[in-house]
Amino acid sequence: MPEIKSLGVIGAGQMGNGIAHVAALAGLDVVLLDVKAEALDKAMATIAKNMDRQVSRSLITAEDRDAALARIRPGTDYALFNDADLVIEAATENEAIKAKIFQALLPHLKAEALLASNTSSISITRLAAGTDRPDRFIGMHFMNPVPVMKLVEIIRGIATSDATYQAIDALAKRMGKTTATAEDFPAFIVNRILVPMINEACYALYEGVGDVVSIDTGLKLGANHPLGPLELADLIGLDTCLAIMKVLHDGMGDSKYRPCPLLAKYVEAGWYGRKSGKGFYDYSQNPPVPTR
């Protein structure tokens, strides 16, 4: 089983900076890459703030924080990955973008390096087939927010070797995570179940069954969910929810996965949720107020 000591992360957004955060605390040397230097500055500030919060809650020590931050090296050049044992792609949920990233990355990897995608829905087998190492390619789907959520969903492509699977499973556990293994079908386990529920909540809103507050209150108090489905959609990103529903609809060919037109309309408006400041709620106000 390959030993993973150094890790590369592509994408400094909310998922990428979270993966870098937990990897560095687990003692790995991390290279965090993004095409935009300002995204890296923002990511490092976010990681520091989140680690400060962990220190204040006595979850880690100040020494742990300082050592972990020192292990993260931000940069914009793929050549920084030339010694990485594993590179995790954590870019936007768009297959064409992910494929382009892997093509740019491959010339800089050592022969034995492993590859993983943090995709939440796209075929691991298909992504792996576009690389020179399908046997060393795997899905490693972290949950958001990564430092808090305990699950990592591991998805084997059809060509993924046992050694690759065992190395990634061991790494996830080293990061303090619990693993669930999913077969390589559209949206895997978590989003196969979760995102259609969110889509159904969108339909309930679209059809006037209930308003935003009633739908979220109903699920929080009626099903004991910590967040209502529309609040959760705003946290995940409505663009990501729509992308996952499209993957499910295309991959399964079943009308029950048809994306709600209202969800598509919000995305067309650029109302992606928390990250854009507006989704099913308007986050420019405190507390946030429903937009519909």
Q: Which residues are catalytic?
A: 120, 141, 153, 191
118 is in an annotated binding site: no
Asked if 121 and 249 count as a contact pair (C-beta separation under 8 A), the reply is no
- 210 annotated as a binding-site residue: no
Q: Who's near 199: CB < 8 A, 6+ residues apart?
A: 241, 245, 257, 259, 260, 263
CA atoms within 13 A on the CB side of 72: 31
Binding residue per annotation — 15? yes
- Is 34 part of any known ligand binding site? yes
Q: Is 11 annotated as a binding residue?
A: yes
**Known binder of ligand: residue 16?**
yes
What is the rounded distance in angstroms from the CA atom of residue 218 to the CA atom of residue 7?
42
- The verdict on whether residue 130 carries a ligand-binding annotation is no
Summarize the annotated binding site as residue ranges. 11-16, 34, 93, 98, 120, 144, 275
Summarize the annotated binding site for NAD(+) as residue ranges. 11-16, 34, 93, 98, 120, 144, 275
